[in-house]
A and B are shown apart, each in its own frame.
Chain A
Amino acid sequence: GASWKTGNSVELRASDQGEPLEDQSMYEQQPKLHSVVMGAQQQNTGNLQFMDTSAYDGRYSSTGQAGGNAFYPSEYSGNIGGNLSTNFEDEPPLLEELGIDFDKIKQKTLSVLNPLKKVTKEMIYSPGNDGEPVADSDMAGPILIALMLGGAMLLRGKVHFGYIYGVGLVGCGSLWLVMTLMSQKGLDIYQTSSILGYSLLPMVLLAFFSAFFTATGHVMTILTVVTVAWCTIRSSDMMVVAMDV
């Protein structure tokens, strides 16, 4: 009731005097946000001023702002104006911001599945940060494929997610090291991981298929050899194209 408002007005007076409110913790922001929802325009601007002049570095203030934005009803976003950079209407679409391009993912997946189709440059390259085409470092597809591999193993009763991550990480790291040491141009580690992740797809198919057969029969051995060769050929093709060798 009354004591609540007194507490808030004490802080407002400090901000009106223009002192930077460095000593406010995240905990103390919460009563102010309540006051935004219940309160008048004046309190609103006061709180915004507080958030702007806080002396945290960029990381903390953005968390504060994100948390703050979550509490603000949408009609207040007009008042935020030029002070905060994350205006709700101007944000790019979520998928573009995350870097997930479903078309590209589908294209790469199909190119791995079809061992006869030649890998072209435009399948792997996508516009990089400075506009020039750079080898794709999309990780959404590979992570999905790794999870599917773990899921396929679950069908056989083996919970091997940790091993997939571990061996995958060691494999990607060592292959990146070898590629960097042996070539002039070299690849980014994310680019190598992306290529290796996509070429893991035939293994996922093999894993799903092997749920129905024993692992060491003749059929499975031949299938395994074929699958490993398939994975290797596709990943080598993609790496050769990506490194422009």
Chain B
Amino acid sequence: MDLVQLQRQLVEYRTSLYHEGFLDEQYTQLQELQDENNPDFVVEVVSLFFEDSERLLNELTKALEQQSIDFKRVDAHVHQLKGSSSSIGAQRVQKVCIAFRNYCEEQNVEGCLKCLQQVRHEYSLVKTKLESMFQLEQQILSAGGSIPM
């Protein structure tokens, strides 16, 4: 695939992620903070998000496996996940977190377990998609091109 085709593919892919709600305006803000002096900013922040989310998902799993669930603790983790997903523009993850927090407040175990499953799913989707997008970007850069905005 030549450079122009790659660039077109990237733009289409990225647009679809916005349309499907995987990413929101905040992701655009991140891109705008990236420049020649900080060329890896977006990848760095997103990598931090991946690490942090995986940690939180593990904590959530453990917390919900307990005999006596500490909903405050569960809520604290979800609050963190909601915050970080919002900070990078991972909209669908953020939305599940909102529902998740409501179940925590109600101390609804079923609801929480359902949300945990959903948030894991949404997280893995957005992770895969972002990684694909980063790969495309890397291909473009390696071919000597620039990333279209």
Does chain A bind chain B?
no
B-binding residues in A (CB < 8 A): none
